[in-house]
Amino acid sequence: MSFWEYLGNRHQQLLTDAYQHASAVFQCMVLATLIGVLLGVVTYRSDWAGNLATTATSTILTIPSLAMIGLLIPVVGLGVPPTVIALTLYGLLPIVRNSIVGLRGVDPSLVDAAKGIGMSRPMRLARVELPLAWPPILTGIRVSTQMLMGIAAIAAYASGPGLGNEIFRGLASLGSKNALNQVLSGTLGIIVLALLFDAAYVLVGRLTIPRGIRV
């Protein structure tokens, strides 16, 4: 069976896997963004807290993904929970780091001006600091998403959802006639999804970065 015939035969299964893959990454990204930006907001004003948050999240990233999922299975079981936890944790680093860098990079004279005209601390954050730090944060989210696209494939190891299933099935039956097609379709599927997400982020950037600070 050629690759194209394989795609024709299995497109139903492939689309379902792709959809689940994208959906898992998207949901984990939402979680990682919320947690990551929150961590950034809480820690950016203190040197050591900011460094601690960055170091902690980058330590997580050094754990091999297979090992991480393997370690999570005995604790939370198979399927969706280890996938979501692992992906969210991996997604944190770029977001936390860029949030801290972005928030620290806001011109101090603007923060001074915001204070000086009578903005309270939450207001300053919501109306001045976060909007100005948004472009780097968005970049962090984008990098995170690309990374999670690949890591999400490992989720299949814990019977998680997504295109990883194709790849693992192929790897398990290496030598059989469809093995190569399975691995290839899974991998290409992930690449296509990653490109689509990236395009979506360009659009999100256009819509959410105020015109006054767009580069």
Partner 1 sequence: MSESHGAAIELENLTKRYPGSASPAVDNVNMEIKAGEIVILVGPSGCGKSTTLKMINRLIEPSGGRIRIGGEDVTDIDPVKLRRKVGYAIQSSGLFPHMTVAQNIALVPGMIGWPKGRIKDRVEEMLDLVGLDPGEFHNRYPRQLSGGQQQRVGVARALAADPPVLLMDEPFGAVDPITRDHLQDELIRLQHELHKTIVFVTHDFDEAIKLGDRIAVLRERSHIAQFDTPEAILTNPADDFVSGFVGAGAALKRLNLTRVRDVEVTEYPTVSVDDPLQTIFNRIRSSGTNEILLLDKRGRPYKWLRRGDLMRAKGSLARAGTLVTDTVTRDATLRDALEAVLTDNTGRVAVTGRRGEYTGVVDMETLMNSVHELLEADRLEALEAQHELEEARAAQTHAEQEGPAGEAKA
Label residue 177 exposed, middle or buried (CB < 10 Å: 0-12, 13-18, 19+): exposed
Q: Is the dihedral of CA 7, 13, 19, 20 positive or negative?
A: negative
Segment near partner 1 (CB under 8 A), from 5-13, 36-44, 69-77, 120-128? 120-128
Q: Is residue 137 at the binding interface for partner 1, with CB under 8 A as the rule? A: no
Residue environment code for 3-20, b if the CB has 16+ CB neighbours within 10 A, otherwise e: eeebbeebeeebeebbeb
Of the residues 75, 117, 203, 207, which one makes contact with partner 1 according to CB under 8 A: 117
- The rounded distance, in Å, linking the Cα atoms of 119 and 97 is 26
Shortest distance, CB of residue 46 to partner 1, whole angstroms? 17
- The rounded distance, in Å, linking the Cα atoms of 123 and 121 is 5
Instruction: For residue 128, give both structure tokens.
Output: 């001045």
In terms of CB distance, is 12 or 109 closer to partner 1?
A: 109
Q: Is residue 116 at the binding interface for partner 1, with CB under 8 A as the rule? A: yes
Q: Is residue 114 at the binding interface for partner 1, with CB under 8 A as the rule? A: yes
Instruction: For residue 162, give both structure tokens.
Output: 């997504």
Of the residues 1, 30, 123, 171, which one makes contact with partner 1 according to CB under 8 A: 123
Shortest distance, CB of residue 42 to partner 1, whole angstroms? 21
Of the residues 113, 126, 174, 202, which one makes contact with partner 1 according to CB under 8 A: 113
In terms of CB distance, is 64 or 118 closer to partner 1?
A: 118
Shortest distance, CB of residue 117 to partner 1, whole angstroms? 5
Q: Is residue 122 at the binding interface for partner 1, with CB under 8 A as the rule? A: no
Q: Is residue 109 at the binding interface for partner 1, with CB under 8 A as the rule? A: yes
Residue that the structure tokens 């000086």 belong to: 116
Q: Is residue 110 at the binding interface for partner 1, with CB under 8 A as the rule? A: yes
Q: Is residue 212 at the binding interface for partner 1, with CB under 8 A as the rule? A: yes
Shortest distance, CB of residue 143 to partner 1, whole angstroms? 23
Q: Is residue 120 at the binding interface for partner 1, with CB under 8 A as the rule? A: yes
Scanning 44-79, the segments in alpha helix (DSSP H) are: 47-62, 65-76
Nearest to 53 by CA among 110, 103, 92, 102: 92
Longest dimension (CA), the chain: 71
Instruction: For residue 4, give both structure tokens.
Output: 């194209």
User: Which stretches of the chain bind partner 1, using CB under 8 A?
Assistant: 109-110, 112-120, 123, 127-128, 131-132, 210-213
